[in-house]
Amino acid sequence: MIYLDNAATSFPKPEPVYQALDTFARTTLANPGRAGHRMAMAAEKTLDDVRHALNQFFKGAAPERWVFTLNCSDALNMAIKGVINDGDHVVTTDLEHNSISRPLRALEKAGTITLTRIKSHEGYVTAADVKAALTPKTTLVAMTHASNVLGTVQPIEAIAPIVRESGALFLVDVAQSAGVVPIDLKATAIDMLAFPGHKALYGPTGTGSLYVGPRTDGRIRAWREGGTGGDSSSETQPSILPYFLEGGTPNVLGLAGLLAGVRWVAERGPDALRKHEVDLLQRVVDWAETSDAWRIAGRWEPSTHVGALSLFVPESLTPQDLASILDVTFDIAVRPGLHCAPYIHRTIGSFPDGTLRLSTGPFTTEEEITRFLEALTEITAGVL
């Protein structure tokens, strides 16, 4: 299969990830526990190694600030529901995935918060847009770093100081950028960073993390309470990180795979990985430019783009039909529809059918893009 759905989850994973999963499952898959037997301690040490690797990769304040989650949605829910209080005002954007939009909209509908959703222009929001949306009641700005529909990278380095100055917390969803866009928590005033392990950090599904910076101390509530592998006499969740926000047996096997994935990315560097993905998309952009029937969504600026690109589908076709033909007849996997991000499709005029999204990865080749473009040309030859 030609896999062009890396924005949903990366496939294949780098070889060291498969090796780490296999070895860990055969030798170390005990329940991590700080006071346990040697195998439990070894499993706990792996968790520790992942926290150190993440902290070094993103230049965080301390390894214990990386809390493991099931996926990015879990991390975003933990962040949003952990810090929101009655009467708060929250700023977000129309680029968001439902994992930000839905919790915020539910809180708005319940009357807990007021919400401002900034409208993007050609796939981008600006620092000025964010500044204009802030009010004295704003306690949280929650936004994506890169749109999962358009692939456009938002100027978080310019937005962060504005949010910091206002006193609000800055939550950034880096689901589409972690691993392919450098993120420096020392240089950028981000309070909470949410990401899945299973996209461009190449861990398996079931992994993710929320980074909770120093400004969240005393402001974030625990919402998943339970066993922590230590401090069992404490009647309530231990107040120290990461255990304050982690309850229950973690996906230690998946995290062993994530560790191999993060190391693989760190060796190559996000810039090189992003360049490969975007260079391949450039061919699709060039092809669309020479066609009367196809248009790409959002402004194409290779320097601020990740490896996801949406195509508006010609009127006589639907993204769903096209994706299904690509899958069944050409063995090509892409993603049609709204991509769990309905607001941006309303903004760009592709609601409710959505777009056809392709997303490249480190193992995508030139030949595969050629095959994709040939397939699109062949499918649409009789129709357009």
Ligand X SMILES: Cc1ncc(COP(=O)(O)O)c(C=O)c1O
Q: Given the rule CB under 6 A, which residues bind ligand X?
A: 8, 71-73, 97, 99, 144, 148, 173, 175-176, 196, 208
**Nearest distance from C-beta of residue 236 to ligand X, angstroms:** 28
- Going along the chain, which residue ranges are E strands? 2-3, 66-69, 88-93, 113-118, 138-144, 169-173, 192-196, 208-212, 295-296, 308-312, 332-333, 335-337, 355-359
Residue 44 or 246: the one with the smaller Cβ distance to ligand X is: 246
Decide: helix, strand or coil at residue 1. coil
Residue 147 or 380: the one with the smaller Cβ distance to ligand X is: 147
Residue 84 or 142: the one with the smaller Cβ distance to ligand X is: 142
**Nearest distance from C-beta of residue 101 to ligand X, angstroms:** 10
Residue 32, preceding peptide bond in cis (omega within 30° of 0): no
Residue 40 or 265: the one with the smaller Cβ distance to ligand X is: 265
Phi, psi for residue 330 in degrees, rounded to 5: -110, -5
Question: Which token pair is 288?
Answer: 């669309």
Question: Which token pair is 205?
Answer: 């599904």
Residue 51 or 335: the one with the smaller Cβ distance to ligand X is: 335
Tracing tokens 């055969």 back to the chain, one arrives at 26
**Nearest distance from C-beta of residue 144 to ligand X, angstroms:** 5
Cβ–Cβ < 8 Å for 8, 335: yes
Residue 83 or 375: the one with the smaller Cβ distance to ligand X is: 83
Question: How many whole angstroms separate alpha carbon 176 and alpha carbon 196?
Answer: 9
Phi, psi for residue 310 in degrees, rounded to 5: -105, 140
State the DSSP H helix or E strand holding residue 42, giving kind and residue range, or none if neither. Answer: helix 38-58
**Nearest distance from C-beta of residue 46 to ligand X, angstroms:** 21
> What are the Cα distances from residue 301, in Å, to 151, 275, 286, 346, 368?
10, 12, 13, 22, 22
Residue 97 or 305: the one with the smaller Cβ distance to ligand X is: 97
Residue 181, Cβ density class (10 Å: 0-12 exposed, 13-18 middle, ≥19 buried): buried
**Nearest distance from C-beta of residue 351 to ligand X, angstroms:** 18
CA dihedral 364, 208, 65, 262 (to 10 degrees): -30
**Nearest distance from C-beta of residue 339 to ligand X, angstroms:** 7
**Nearest distance from C-beta of residue 146 to ligand X, angstroms:** 7
Question: Which token pair is 24?
Answer: 């860990």
Nearest to 184 by CA among 270, 276, 80: 270
**Nearest distance from C-beta of residue 103 to ligand X, angstroms:** 11
- Is the torsion defined by CA of 220, 221, 225, 228 positive or negative? positive
Residue 8 or 79: the one with the smaller Cβ distance to ligand X is: 8
Residue 173 or 368: the one with the smaller Cβ distance to ligand X is: 173
**Nearest distance from C-beta of residue 58 to ligand X, angstroms:** 17
